[in-house]
Amino acid sequence: MSEREGTVVIVGATSSIARELSRRMVWRGKRTLLAARDAAELSRCSADLRIRSGRDVEELEWPEEPGGSVELARRIISRLRPGPIFLAMCVGYLGDQALADVDPAERARIRQANLEIPVEVIEELLPAMTKQGGSILALSSVAGDRVRPSNALYGAAKAGLNAYLEALRLRTRRSSLRIVTAKLGPVATRMTFGMGRLPLMISPSRAAELIDKRLDRAEVIYVPSVWAPIMAAIRLIPEPIFRRMTF
C-alpha cells in the first residue's frame, strides 16, 4: 500500500487482532497512535511496530477512571496530523454470561467494552474525522446478528454496535468518511482461550488479512466471508423455532 498523509489510530491496540491490524494499517498514515489500558503491554506493542515499520508510532495510555474513553479521544485529537484519519476500534469483551446473570459489574463490563466505549470514542472523534476524511473500522461479531442465550449480553451489545454503525453511515453519507463494520466469527485469541476449536475458527493474522483486503471495498465485512450466508440463514429462522434450538 502506498504511503498516505494523516493518522492511523488503533484503540485496544494490545489485542491479538489489533496487533496484526496495526502492522497492516501503519502504512495508511504518517503517524500511528496506539491506545490501550495496559501501559507495559502497550509499550511493547509500540516498540515492536516501530521496529518493524521504521515509522512514527506513539502510545497513548487509556485512563481507567470514569470518563476515561472521552479523555482518551481528546488526547487522540490533540495528536492528529493533517489529512485522513484511519480509526480502528478493536475493543471487546466476551465476558461470562453466567456471572453476568448475577453480577451487575460483569454486565457493565460487557456493555461498556462492546458498545459504550466504541460509541464514546467515535462520537468524540467524529467532528475531526468528518472534516478530514478517512475511515472508521469497528470490530464486531456475528453474535450480534442473532443473539443466543449462552452469550446474550455480549450478542446484544454487538447488535447495538452494528445498529449504531449503520446509523452512522446514514449520518455521514454526505461526507467522504467511510464506516466499516467487521463481523468476526471465532478467532483464536485470549477471549476464546479455553473454548476449544470452535467451528470456522481462524487465527488473528488471518482475520487481519481478510479485514485488510476488504477494508476499502465493503462497509460490512464478515470474517471469514462464509459467515455471511450462514448468518443470513440463521436470521430467517422464526423466533418460536429459534427458542427451541439448543445453543
For the stretch 190-230, pLDDT in tens is: 665 445 566 778 999 999 999 999 999 999 999 999 999 99
pLDDT in tens, 16-49: 999 999 999 999 999 999 999 999 999 999 999 9
pLDDT in tens, 69-97: 999 999 999 999 999 999 999 999 999 99
pLDDT of residue 5: 81
Are the C-beta atoms of residues 7 and 32 closer than 8 Å to each other?
A: yes
Angle, vertex CA 171, rays to CA 118 and CA 145, nearest 5: 55
- Count of alpha carbons within 13 angstroms of residue 3, beta-carbon side: 7
- Answer whether residue 1 is part of any domain: no
The C-alpha cell at 66 is 470514569
Residues spanned by the domain of 87 = 7-244
Measure Cα distances from 55 to 20, 28, 29, 86 in Å: 16, 11, 9, 16
On the question of pLDDT at 11 being above 90, the answer is yes
Q: Rounded mean pLDDT of 165-187? A: 96
For 222, phi and psi rounded to 5 degrees?
-95, 135
Q: Of the listed 93, 154, 164, 222, which one is catalytic?
A: 154
Domain total in the chain: 1
On the question of pLDDT at 104 being above 80, the answer is yes
Please give the model's pTM, rounded to 2 decimal places.
Answer: 0.90
- Answer whether residue 228 is part of any domain: yes
pLDDT of residue 247: 62
- Answer whether residue 165 is part of any domain: yes
Q: Write the CB contacts of 53 (distance below 8 Å, at least 6 apart in sequence).
A: 23, 26, 27, 32
- Answer whether residue 122 is part of any domain: yes
Q: Rounded mean pLDDT of 97-121? A: 96
* Cα end-to-end distance, the chain, whole Å: 42
pLDDT of residue 189: 67
- Answer whether residue 157 is part of any domain: yes
Is 154 an annotated catalytic residue? yes
The C-alpha cell at 96 is 461470562
Q: Say which CATH number the domain at 105 has.
A: 3.40.50.720
Name the nearest CA neighbour of 213 among 137, 118, 133.
137
